[in-house]
Amino acid sequence: MSKKVTIIGSGNVATQLATALYAKGCVIVEIGSRTLAHARKLAQAVNAHATGNLRELLPADSYIIAVTDAAIPEVAEKLNAGSALVVHTSGSTNISALNKFARYGVLYPLQTFTRQRPVDWHVVPVFIMANTGETLQELQNMAALLSGTVIPMPPGDLVHLHTAGVFANNFVNGLLGIAKDLAGEQFHLLYPLVRETLEKAFAAAHPRDVQTGPAVRNDVGTMAKQRAILPPAQQQLYAQISSLIAQNKSTH
């Protein structure tokens, strides 16, 4: 199994991957990043070398590209990996973005990451794909160091799954931001409500089956009162989401 790993990137995903693999006994050879100060900080935490020059990285068994989607082609163009395994961590970038390499794949953890917040990797689903069966097995071994749920996928992209994650995580967090603005210091009192909402949604055959609230009841009066306290942009969002809820209920 690839024990000598170089991480390209120094953001949230790169930080969590580097620290998790280091804790599992992997040698983190190098942290490569355009922001050398960030690379040095992460490298210090995992006893690695830091560099801002991606064209002259030290030899490693595996190179993990954990950068923004837009930066993956540039990194792939600069990287000289020889026969080493090269993977990216994007859910929206096709595996073919790495086809210049002999052995390549995708290591996509379905989770939201923040540098400073610890992650229970064992429960994080990790989706993998590779250009050959042998490479997939090597990637499986690496992913198993991180997670108890490793899911091999056929070569292709994960855009449907990643988009689902955007709706379930990023958009929900954006809506929670609005809820915070409305509730103020009482925001923490919404936690039991949010927890019950999530538990019911995942226990049901479909989340729409357990939908509640004024939109599903077509409670026009309540919805009008609630829209009235919102700024114009949020009024429009409230109306659009309410309409979506009503349509989902009426068509199923």
Contacts of 188 (CB under 8 A, 6+ apart): none
Best CA proximity match to 127, nearest among 113, 103, 146, 114: 146
In the chain, DSSP finds a helix count (H) and a strand count (E) of 10, 8
Task: List the domain boundaries for the chain.
Answer: 4-155, 160-250
- Given the DSSP bridges, would you call strands 85-88 and 103-109 parallel, antiparallel or unpaired? parallel
4 CB neighbour count, 10 Å cutoff: 15
- Mean per-residue pLDDT, 66-72: 96
Element (H, E) at 248: helix 232-250
Residue 12 is encoded by which pair of tokens? 């949230």
Evaluate whether 4-155 and 160-250 have a shared fold.
Answer: no
Q: pLDDT, tens digit, for every residue of 228-250?
A: 999 999 999 999 999 999 998 76
**Mean pLDDT on 111-125:** 93
Contact present, 23 and 16 (Cβ < 8 Å): no
pLDDT for the residue numbered 192: 97
DSSP run (H or E) holding 33 = none
Q: Among 70, 146, 75, which residue's Cα sits nearest to residue 104?
A: 75
Q: How confident is the model at residue 135 (pLDDT cuts 50, 70, 90)?
A: very high
Q: Is the pLDDT assigned to residue 125 strictly greater than 90?
A: yes
What CATH superfamily is the domain 4-155? NAD(P)-binding Rossmann-like Domain (3.40.50.720)
Tens of pLDDT along 174-230? 999 999 999 999 999 999 999 999 999 999 999 999 999 999 999 999 999 999 999
pLDDT the model gives residue 2: 53
pLDDT at 1 over 80: no
Mean pLDDT for 50-63 is: 95
What gap in Å lies between CA 219 and CA 73, rounded to an integer?
50
Does 3.40.50.720 match the CATH number of domain 160-250?
no
